Structure 1
Amino acid sequence: MRPLATAQRIGFVDVMRIVVPVAALALYAAITFLGGQAIKDQPPLWLSLVVFPILFATVIAAVVSAEEIAHEIGEPFGTLVLTISVTIIEVALIMSIMLEDKGNPTLARDTVFAVVMIVANGLVGICMLAGGLRYYQQDFEAKGANVYLAVLTALSMLTMVLPNFTVSSAGPVLTTSQLIFVSIVTLLLYALFLYIQTVRHTEFFTANSEHNGDEKSGHGLRARAPLLLIASLVAVVLLSKTFTASLQGILTDLGAPEPFLGFLVALLILSPEGITAVRAARMNELQRSINLALGSSLATIGMTVPAVAVITIYTGKDLILGLGSEAMVLLFLTLLVSVYTFGTGRTNILFGFLHLIIFATYIFLIFVP
């Protein structure tokens, strides 16, 4: 009975991966040809209630397809496919708001910072707590975790802290030349990290008990998964304008603080990947959880900030990257605690609870800064 149930479940998932992107593309076509630009910019409440679940389901479909590709090609390339897919979705959502007439000069900063807080504290904390409750202690490759942490420290400081202390322009912003330099350095650093992760030191990112050959199905990568992934990502990009406009309108009506929008955008794009990371931790695969969590942070900064910089320079819109004082304290605290968390290659529930406390403080300060 179990094989039959599994087959039915897999069949249902496959059908949904086809139906959901098609439904999303059909919805976009209906909005475009029937409603026009006005309904995209200011969607009514009923349309928002339709767009939210379809967009969320499309994000999940994209991640499921990316997971199938990851399973076929093994680690660490599999994790790279997941993180790049999620980053494409994130950039689409951020751009859709930044390109509006009014725009939101802090959205990119708020979203990138939210991703760092969610994955480095919330997701890491939940994974370590869930795994620790079940297995008491879990091991991971400390060398790989330290590489993640070193690059994350440099990227976050260059993009979210340095703008507060430059003097060529007033406020927590960078001049055009500074923004170009930081973007180039960010891309180079992330590219070098990818080289280390996928070519030179792949063993740093694979636990001793894991073997790539065991993870692969041995049947070869079929064209179905890449095609479904591309279709899902295209649907997300197309629907992002309507989604972000409706979400921004709802939050404005509710009087929610501006950083909460960045938090919700980050939470939407990270939720499917987060579920995968927690599930891996409960299966005693903490290394995979760390790869997903910290890899998302690096991909977000390494790819999102340069993309946002290009759009900002091209359109001439304002871009505020520097964090506020309380956010900088939380970032410093996160990086400092992470040094101890990932320093030994072994963790337990205490470290997980500690990261969750920092994450709870971050959420509290969004509403009570």
Structure 2
Amino acid sequence: MTAAIRSILTPSAIVRLILGWGAFAALLFAGPLLAPPVAGPLLVSALIVIVGVILICAFGVVHEAEHLARLLGDPYGSLVLTLSIVLIEVVLIAAVLLGPGDHATIARDSVMAVSMIILNAVIGLCLLVAGLRHGSLAHNRTGVSTYLSLIIVLAALAFALPALIGANGSYEEWQEVPIIVLTIGIYAFFLYRQMGAQAADFHEVDPRLPQIPAEVGTGDSVPPKLSIREIISTHRIEIIVRLALLVATVTPIVLLSHDMASLLDDGLGRLGAPVALSGVVIALIVFLPETITSIRAAWQGEIQRVSNLCHGAQVSTVGLTIPTVLLIGLLTDQPIVLAESPANLLLLAVTLLLSVTTFAAKKVTAIHGAAHLVVFAIFGITLFS
């Protein structure tokens, strides 16, 4: 093992891996003991242990994500963390759909919860933190506008259109193929442009932050700044090892959060809480590493990185989840219910309108963040209605 790899695979990193995967293995073996109804003390103890392990692993993910972000620069660094979490989440949703039972609404409920958390709770908290610490902050309006344009289109395809042209909240079979093709097509085109000709649209523009030279990516690198190809060529081993470690650390977070779903349902059911609350809590836990990374970026005044992480995660979640579940529905002849309730559609519309008005301004402030947090609080109220 080289010195470079040893500097990455530190004792702390190895301990996190052992804790994360060990806890997941323990849950598998303890399955019969944790089958509902679980004794109160055992239920609380299990949840505390799981959440504790998730927190420890989350900070490990953040550590690797920040190293990759500094090494690769944005949007590439943010994209690595976003895609790692979202891809694992999509695979798990697909696994649930392919398993026994009726899960027609799992994609709708999961993506809606993620949307409210990312677009209101996380972004609201980040803008509030950044605004209180740094005052008003400039963002790259072209990049944010690109994200929001895709979010609006994909959200309409996912949650609103099925209620208008489909049947019982689902698309007709003949409608699903063009929706899959269009969703995958626009998402693939977005990634192609974001990682290529439009990469500069996702760089920081606030004058108080260090700026990336315009020459980067044109073939005339300005030391110590290098083009993405030169960075990958120069640091290939480090990037591969850190990426592998990030994925290996984030996977148990997602697996544990889904394994604890039945425990959480059991506990919340005893408290008389709504079933939908469990989905929101699980979504919060799944995206915990991205939330921590976003808040740290906001603390440092990197508001464009906040957008890259949050808006990028939202685009990836809808752009990958919807075509995946629709394709599974076609292949397995399962109904996939996507149409949302009128209350959630109203909140989603308010969220999208608020996002557009927030980031249409030259600078964002703490008041913008407070407005987003209010919308998330209202979403919380609707869960109990």
Q: TM-score range by the shorter chain?
A: 0.7 to 0.9
Decide whether the 8 Å contact of 1:62 with 1:85 is kept in 2. Answer: no
Unaligned runs of 5+ in 1: 1-10
Q: What is the percentage of aligned positions where both structures have the same residue?
A: 31
Aligned to 1:7: none
Measured in 2, the distance between the counterparts of 1:132 and 1:49 equals 33
1:8 corresponds to? none
Alignment check: 8 A CA contact 2:118 2:310 kept: yes
Shift of 1:285: 1.1
- Alignment partner, residue 345 of structure 1: 362
TM-fit CA distance, 1:19: 1.6
Q: Does 1:207 align with 2:208?
A: no
Aligned equivalent of 2:19: 23
Aligned CA distance change for structure 1 residues 356 and 26 (closer, same or farther; 3 Å):
closer
1:67 counterpart residue number? 66
**Superposed displacement of residue 236, structure 1:** 4.4
Q: Shift of residue 362 of structure 1?
A: 1.0
TM-score (norm 1): 0.85
| C-alpha distance in structure 2 between counterparts of 1:133 and 1:30, whole Å | 43
Q: Kindly provide the amino acid, as one letter, of the partner of residue 113 in structure 2.
A: A
Give the corresponding residue for 1:146: 145
Q: 1:276 to 1:29 in 2, by over 3 A?
A: closer
Unmatched 5+ residue regions in structure 2?
A: 1-6, 217-223
Aligned 8 A contact 2:58 2:288 in 1: no
Alpha carbons 1:63, 1:85 under 8 Å: kept = no
Matches within 5 A, 1:288-299: 288-299=305-316
Task: Note the alpha carbon deviations across 1:140-178, whole angstroms, 9 max, x for none.
Answer: 1111111111011000000111111114x2x11112332
Alignment of structure 1 residues 2-41 onto 2, 5 Å: 14-32=10-28, 34=29
State which drifts further: 134-143 or 224-233: 224-233
| Cα 1:59–1:142 shift into 2, 3 Å | same
Give 1:40 shift.
8.2
8 Å contact from structure 1 (residues 18, 228) kept in 2: no
Aligned residue runs from structure 1 range 274-293, under 5 A: 274-293=291-310
Task: Give per-residue Cα distances to partners, 1:116-154, cap 9 Å, x unaligned.
Answer: 211211222112221111222110111111111101100
Maintained 8 Å contact 1:125/1:351:
yes
> What is the aligned counterpart of 2:181 among 184, 190, 209?
184
Q: Does 1:135 align with 2:115?
A: no
Judged with a 3 Å threshold, the aligned counterparts in structure 2 of structure 1 residues 242 and 358 are, in CA distance, closer, same or farther, namely closer
Q: Using the alignment, how far apart are the partners of 2:263 and 2:98 within structure 1?
A: 15
Change (3 A) 1:238 1:117: closer
2:98 matches 1:81: no
Q: How big is the shift at 1:301?
A: 0.4
Matched to 1:207, the amino acid is E
321, 336, 339: which one pairs with 1:322? 339
Alpha-carbon deviations, 1:332-354, whole Å to 9, x = none?
11111222111133112221221
| Worse-matched range after superposition: 259-268 or 292-301 | 259-268
Shift of 1:92: 4.4
Instruction: Note closer, same or farther for the CA distance 1:253–1:180 as it changes in structure 2 (3 Å cut).
Output: farther
Indicate the SS of the match to 1:200. Answer: coil
Q: Equivalences for 1:241-252 in 2 at 5 Å?
A: 242-252=259-269
Cα distance in structure 1, aligned partners of 2:85 and 2:160: 24
Residues 119 and 297 in structure 1, CA contact (< 8 A), matched pair in contact too:
yes
Task: Indicate if the aligned counterparts of 2:69 and 2:78 stay in contact, CA closer than 8 A.
Answer: yes
Give the deviation of 1:237 after TM superposition: 5.7
Instruction: Give the aligned partner of residue 310 of structure 1.
Output: 327
Q: Distance in 2 between matches of 1:87 and 1:229?
A: 13
Q: Which whole-Å deviations, capped at 9, do the CAs of 1:308-358 have from their partners, x for residues lacking one?
A: 233333444442111100111111111112221111331122212211111
3-state SS of paired residue (1:342)? helix
1:89–1:269 Cα contact (<8 Å) kept: no
Give the distance between the partners of 1:130 and 1:55, measured in 2 at CA: 24
TM-score by length of 2: 0.81
- Provide the aligned length of Structure 1 versus Structure 2: 355
CA contact (8 A) 1:107 1:259 kept: no
Note if 1:220 corresponds to 2:235: yes
Check if 1:159 corresponds to 2:158. yes
Q: 1:60: Cα distance to partner? A: 4.3
Instruction: State the 4+ residue runs in structure 1 displaced beyond 6 angstroms.
Output: none
Structure 2 residue identity aligned to 1:210:
Q
- Shift of the alpha carbon at 1:238? 5.1
Please tell me the root mean square deviation across aligned C-alpha atoms, in Å: 3.0
| 1:5 alignment counterpart | none
